[in-house]
Structure 1
Amino acid sequence: MEEWNETVEKWQELMEKGHYVQLREELNEENPANVAEFLEELPADKQLFLFRLLSKDMAAEAFSFLDNDTQEMLVTSITDTEVRNIVDNMYLDDTIDFLEEAPANLVSKVLRNTDRETRALINRFLHYPENSAGSLMTVEFVHLSKTMTAKRAMEIIRKNGLDKETIYTCYVIDDKKHLVGVLPLRTLLFADEDKRVEELMEEDVISIATLDDQEEAANLFRKYSFIALPVVDGENRLVGIITVDDIVDVIDEETTEDMEKMAALLPSDEVYLKTPVTKLARNRIVWLCVLMISGTLSSAIISGYDAILSQAVQLAAFIPVLTGTGGNAGSQTSATIIRGMSLGDIRPRDILRVMGKEVQVGMICGVLLAALNFIKQTIFSPSTDIMVDLTVSVSMGFVVVVAKAMGCVLPIGAKVCKLDPAIMAGPLITTVVDAVALVIFFNVAQWLVL
């Protein structure tokens, strides 16, 4: 980090002193991601100047790493010729990523500066559903015919591989473009030149359909440690591949979205410091209203048990402890279950096994917490009625068991209903468990105290 800060200071000094030739040389030798990071730290006018200072190749590569706002500003400001150079030198999937977020006027500007073939490909990709495998794939890959020899296959890779996103895995198709196998470059390198590709390829191919969700693609990458995944249409014809760098972005997006939902926020892919205060408030107020309204359920339950509270006033002091413990227990379980489902370890059909395990965990935790609470109250609050202490402790044991059960049932139930399980976490499950905890507490009190 310190080395990077020194590099940035050096580049800024070169800009201030007008040593643009040296700055251009250094930037063109730098990693494109670092160049993009440096660009984003500059004012808009300097961003445009510096971007034009880069070579065509570096400008295109760095452009793909910039945030959406900077990309839009640059495309708005540069000439049609410069736009054409960027599109010609960018990988198609990076171009699609930009256009999916860009306003219509910028999409039009880009499309009119592309050749007919590229324009047709872009339009086809833009028609795939958002967050589908088809919208994520690239067409820059190496495909081989199963009838060609290993020697011919290597010639094709040498000729076309430079412009492809990856050459480490080659895909084998038949004369109708059906995906019939995969051939690792390592196998090809050490193969006899006269051997045919169909003798060398692996026929057991794992692929994904264009309309499948990108999260499913991420699960396949995670499970099989792929560096690329073939994408096929409804007739098993190879139409593209998804590379691991795109999947890293997907995993990051999905994780961020789940975290926001678990914290009762509307998902947003905007950078925090660049997001207007009004939009931040709008993303939060919806769920805050929902939780506030649902929280009135707890108030209604307490009101319904006024008679019990009036006869044993000491019970009221323990409501926060009881609801807090139940909420924490439920959140722990829901977070574990949601993670398990996102990794594919837990499926809806496992609900009985999961529930059985969580109930056992709840019983162990509930008994220990109940005992600890009773001992704490006896030692540090001897003035409290012992039956009140017993009521709170017994209630706590039951609440923890129920909270653990609800913490697994609600996320799995959401999955069955085709909802994101992440919404059944954090504040939402805490609100539900609070209401259940109060019902248990007052019924136990009615049994033991009154």
Structure 2
Amino acid sequence: MSDTAIMTLKTMLANLDDAKKYQSLRDVMETLPAPDLAAVFEDLPPEKLPVLFRLCPKDLAAEIFAELTPETQQNLIDGLTDKELKAVVDELFVDDATDLVEEMPASVVKRILAQADPATRRMINELLKYPEDSAGGVMTTEFMELRPDMTVTQAMDAIRANGIDKETINNCYVTDKDRTLIGVVSLRALVLEKDPKRTIRDLMDANVVSVSTTTDQEDVSQLFEKYGFLAIPVVDAEKRLVGIVTIDDAISILQDEASEDFAKMNAIGPSDKPYFKQSMWDLYKSRAPWLVFLMISATFSSLVIRGYESALAAVTVLTAYIPMLTDAGGNAGSQSTSTIIRGMAVGDIKPHDLPRILWRECRVALLCGLTLAVCNFGKLLIFDRVSAPVALVVCLTLMCTVLLSQLIGGLLPVLAEKLKIDPAVMASPLITTIVDTTTLLVYFNIAKAVLKI
């Protein structure tokens, strides 16, 4: 149903200037959820954005606006009047309005803040004080707050009166007169309670999992996965409730962190823009510096080969197995690095686990290296028909390479974490470059020792 409605909407938009079927457009739009409509908006030329946006009901318009990319938001703002912009800003949740202010250029920010009411403007300025990657930077201040001495009836009346403006009412947070967080009560518990005079204090759960305003946003998102919450309260240094982080924010954080890590693990500068929204220049800037750095790093491998030219000249067959050895080392190192980075990302691995990591990787590497060496030794003798000493050199190098690669792959991400560097930077391309040089040094030294060259 949704796909059919989207196609119908796109067809109508293509003939909008001729058909002018605004009421039909509105009818189709009302059948679609905000994220699907936002995807349609992303494909529109800037001049058509305000036309379609004005056909949306006010509450739906705000939801669509929050789903748009910053670039499309700016194009839309440019086409809206001050009155229309004020209506959008008033309907946005404070955290979405804060995100908007953070993403827009100064001239647009000035216009947005000028249209916001004083209370919204004050809350936006408060949220902007927190670091962007902290719980304070992603929280919303629109939550349902109850007092412990309220009865169930009073609490339900308060929710009906104020809940419409809150981001969620599934969990209501119980605070004392100083706004200190003392408990949480679910809407389910209130609805199912048979005694309307029972107090919130009797129903609330006093064991509340909360985070501070300075908690890293990635750590916050992991709590959602751990506990299965729909929202997590945020408290200040005095344990006063100042906001909540909701599950939709947590999902966005996880997606952004995963995209950033994926980019860094593949030697690409991270970007928050979709692929087709990035210009050729953006793509070039995200890739070229890393490629230059890795190219320069790879010159160390060339220097090693040049240093052992005489050994290669004496036994030319050794040259044929360099690609296989460096690839095996790079693959082994990448496996180890990816496993450790993943473990660190989900909180399974901590920097103090380094000795345990190296011990485990050492044992796994010996088993993997031995398996590869045995298989390769048979291949070298039977199919490649090389001499036993050469086969021994290659297989010994293979075992040493896998061992060193997996130890390096387990070590570097942990060291990066200790040095406050993103562990993802130590992923595949960089590990491969380091392992290539190490493999060649091991290979030629083993060859000199075994073959007496």
Q: Structure 1: where are the runs of 5+ without partners?
A: none
2:82 to 76, 80, 83: 80
Relative to 1, partners in 2 of residues 1:446 and 1:295: Cα closer, same or farther, differing over 3 Å?
A: same
> What do the CA deviations read for 1:296-336 (whole angstroms, capped 9, x no partner)?
11122222222322221211111111011000000011111
54-63 or 335-344, which moves further after superposition? 54-63
For residues 20-99 of structure 1, the aligned pairs below 5 Å read 20-99=22-101
Is residue 2:315 matched to residue 1:321?
A: no
Aligned to 1:309: 312
TM-score (norm 1): 0.96
1-side partners of 2:396 and 2:6: how far apart? 58
For residues 154-169 of structure 1, the aligned pairs below 5 Å read 154-169=156-171
Give percent identity, aligned residues only.
Answer: 43
Is residue 2:303 matched to residue 1:293?
A: no
Deviation, structure 1 residue 13: 6.3
TM-score (norm 2): 0.96
Q: Is the 8 A contact 2:6 2:40 kept in 1?
A: no
Deviation, structure 1 residue 385: 2.7
Q: Is the 8 A contact 2:9 2:28 kept in 1?
A: no
SS of residue matched to 1:128:
coil
Is residue 2:144 matched to residue 1:149?
A: no
Q: Is the 8 A contact 1:14 1:23 kept in 2?
A: no
Amino acid at match of 2:426: M
2-side partners of 1:17 and 1:176: how far apart? 59
Q: Any runs of at least 4 consecutive aligned residues in structure 1 with deviations exceeding 6 A, and if so which?
A: none
Deviation, structure 1 residue 144: 0.8
Deviation, structure 1 residue 198: 1.6
Q: Structure 2: where are the runs of 5+ without partners?
A: none
Relative to 1, partners in 2 of residues 1:352 and 1:242: Cα closer, same or farther, differing over 3 Å?
A: same
Q: Is the 8 A contact 1:96 1:126 kept in 2?
A: yes
> What do the CA deviations read for 1:336-356 (whole angstroms, capped 9, x no partner)?
111111111111111122221
For residues 23-422 of structure 1, the aligned pairs below 5 Å read 23-191=25-193, 192-382=195-385, 384-422=386-424
SS of residue matched to 1:172:
strand
> What do the CA deviations read for 1:198-224 (whole angstroms, capped 9, x no partner)?
221111111111122111111111111
Deviation, structure 1 residue 402: 1.2
Deviation, structure 1 residue 11: 3.6
191-200 or 233-242, which moves further after superposition? 191-200
Amino acid at match of 2:216: D
Amino acid at match of 1:284: R
Relative to 1, partners in 2 of residues 1:9 and 1:107: Cα closer, same or farther, differing over 3 Å?
A: closer
1-side partners of 2:389 and 2:12: how far apart? 73
2-side partners of 1:331 and 1:27: how far apart? 47
After superposition, the CA RMSD in angstroms is: 1.5
> What do the CA deviations read for 1:26-68 (whole angstroms, capped 9, x no partner)?
2134211122111222222122211122222221111111111
2-side partners of 1:299 and 1:318: how far apart? 16
Relative to 1, partners in 2 of residues 1:48 and 1:168: Cα closer, same or farther, differing over 3 Å?
A: same
Q: Is the 8 A contact 1:323 1:438 kept in 2?
A: yes
Amino acid at match of 1:358: E
2-side partners of 1:90 and 1:119: how far apart? 12
> What do the CA deviations read for 1:195-249 (whole angstroms, capped 9, x no partner)?
2212211111111111221111111111111110101111111000010011111
